[in-house]
């Protein structure tokens, strides 16, 4: 059993802790690197080396029962094809198929469209004296980008986004009902039935068409195409995961740059720093800060036993601020040289959408940093939504509820 003598307490559903969890996470790293929460019966690791180790060891820390605390605890049967919640060999087969259509080349091909969308959102506001970073960009951009890839009409994208978001709401101080949140987020493929049926009769150059036509070898050795149900699962997963986490990244971009005007000025003066700034943003405020794993065999951390059948939380955002890995980790520095962070995961579950997130980051950061140096970000308000393991993005802290205003 983990050492419970430390006075530090961490609760992933507590909004008060969530407002600024970094002091608590630092205590965990220093005093309880293997932490146990009796109320919700989970273990947690918070240091970079431990989170990286658990992320890499998929045989011990499995995803097949879910990567969300409440989902693992519920014992809900997870449908096949949701690669976030799979282990090899099923994971390798399904991820391999998705990797063939969800490629960096395909994502880079839409970069001009992403930049054009940013310009369309932001340019009319030039001279207005104010920009709401979330309402004017963050609430729109992620679903627009996913819509470009999938071939979903712009006029339908907002309604789909809102239905996905509704399933990810969290009440303070309590574990949510996984049946509701899981059904409304990852398994939201029902929203796309009409588009899939249309694409089956009217193929195009989008990702949805590729999924309908892709052939693969299934677990029986049969070469076949995806069923309609399987295509719905893939499309729902892509839409939910891509929308939720990228919205948070946009929100944190606004807030962090507002809190560090000197770093924003560096991006205005030296746009070549934008790629490294994106990596630093991802490290400094991970959009997916917490993941959960089912422990498949007895294991030991820091001389203490974790029994088979336990749930382990991987505090990714804490690991990204670990002093044992990063110098002065609580300082936001767009010039920082980063070997690698853990924001996109590590090992077999490394995020397939990493290239897309970086692409969107380049688009909005380039547009925002190209404005007048006199522009400044102000008026941020802390998000009041817990940094919890959520069904689509495996963690939540910031979303469209953060506010960062652009003033001149």
**pLDDT at residue 168, rounded to an integer:** 54
What three-state secondary structure class fits 101? helix
Is there a domain that residue 87 lies in? yes
Express each pLDDT in 272-329 by its tens digit.
Answer: 999 999 999 999 999 989 999 999 999 999 999 999 999 999 999 999 999 999 999 9
DSSP for residue 63? -
Kindly indicate the confidence band of residue 54, based on its pLDDT and cuts at 50, 70 and 90. very high
Number of domains in the chain: 1
Is there a domain that residue 268 lies in? yes
**pLDDT at residue 209, rounded to an integer:** 92
Is there a domain that residue 334 lies in? yes
Q: Judging by DSSP bridges, how do beta strands 403-407 and 376-381 pair with one another? A: antiparallel
Is there a domain that residue 262 lies in? yes
CA–CA distances in Å: residue 79 to residues 15, 186, 318, 393: 31, 10, 31, 17
Place of tokens 């978001």: 165
Is there a domain that residue 9 lies in? no
C-beta separation of 157 from 143 below 8 A: yes
Kindly indicate the confidence band of residue 35, based on its pLDDT and cuts at 50, 70 and 90. very high
Task: Name the residue range of residue 231's domain.
Answer: 15-407
**How far apart (Å, rounded) are the C-alpha atoms in residues 224 and 313?**
37
Is there a domain that residue 57 lies in? yes
Mean pLDDT of the chain: 81
Whether the bond into 395 is cis, omega within 30 of 0: no
pTM: 0.85
Express each pLDDT in 59-115 by its tens digit.
Answer: 999 999 999 899 999 988 887 778 888 899 989 988 988 888 888 788 888 888 888
Express each pLDDT in 200-223 by its tens digit.
Answer: 999 988 889 999 999 988 888 899
Q: Is the pLDDT of residue 391 over 50?
A: no
Query: Residue 56's domain is classified under what CATH number?
Result: 1.10.630.10
Is there a domain that residue 93 lies in? yes
**How far apart (Å, rounded) are the C-alpha atoms in residues 172 and 384?**
9
Is there a domain that residue 5 lies in? no
């Amino acid at each position: 059993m983990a050492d419970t003598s430390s006075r530090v307490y961490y609760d992933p559903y507590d909004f008060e802790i969530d407002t600024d969890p970094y002091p608590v996470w630092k205590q965990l790293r220093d005093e309880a690197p293997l932490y146990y929460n009796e109320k919700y019966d989970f273990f947690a690791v918070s240091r970079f080396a431990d989170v990286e180790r658990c992320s890499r060891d998929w045989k011990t820390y499995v995803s097949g029962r879910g990567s969300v605390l409440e989902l693992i605890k519920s014992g809900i049967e997870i449908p096949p094809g949701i690669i976030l919640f799979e282990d090899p060999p099923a994971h390798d087969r399904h991820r391999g198929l998705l990797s063939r259509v969800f490629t960096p080349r395909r994502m880079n091909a839409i970069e001009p469209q992403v930049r054009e969308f940013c310009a369309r959102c932001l340019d009319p506001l030039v001279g207005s004296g104010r920009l709401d970073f979330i309402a004017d960009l963050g609430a729109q951009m992620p679903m627009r980008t996913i819509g470009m890839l999938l071939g979903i009409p712009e006029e339908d994208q907002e309604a789909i986004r809102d239905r996905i978001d509704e399933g990810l709401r969290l009440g303070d101080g309590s574990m949510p009902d996984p049946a509701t949140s899981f059904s409304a987020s990852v398994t939201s493929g029902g929203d796309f039935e009409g588009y899939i049926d249309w694409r089956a009769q009217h193929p195009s150059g989008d990702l949805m068409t590729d999924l309908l036509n892709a052939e693969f070898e299934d677990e029986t050795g049969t070469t076949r195409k995806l069923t309609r149900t399987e295509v719905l699962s893939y499309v729902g997963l892509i839409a939910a995961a891509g929308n939720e986490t990228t919205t948070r990244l946009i929100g944190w971009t606004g807030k962090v740059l507002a809190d560090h005007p000197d770093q924003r000025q560096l991006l205005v003066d030296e746009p070549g720093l934008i790629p490294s700034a994106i990596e630093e943003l991802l490290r400094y405020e991970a959009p997916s800060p917490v993941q959960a794993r089912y422990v498949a065999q007895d294991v030991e951390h820091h001389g203490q036993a974790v029994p088979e059948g336990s749930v382990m939380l991987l505090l990714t955002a804490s690991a990204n601020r670990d002093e044992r890995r990063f110098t002065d980790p609580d300082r936001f520095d767009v010039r920082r040289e980063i070997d690698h962070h853990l924001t996109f995961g590590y090992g077999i579950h490394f995020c397939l959408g990493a290239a897309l997130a970086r692409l969107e980051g380049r688009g909005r950061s380039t547009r925002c940093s190209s404005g007048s140096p006199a522009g400044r970000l102000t008026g941020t308000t802390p998000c009041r939504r817990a940094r919890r393991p959520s069904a689509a993005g495996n963690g939540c802290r910031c979303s469209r509820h953060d506010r960062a205003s652009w003033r001149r």
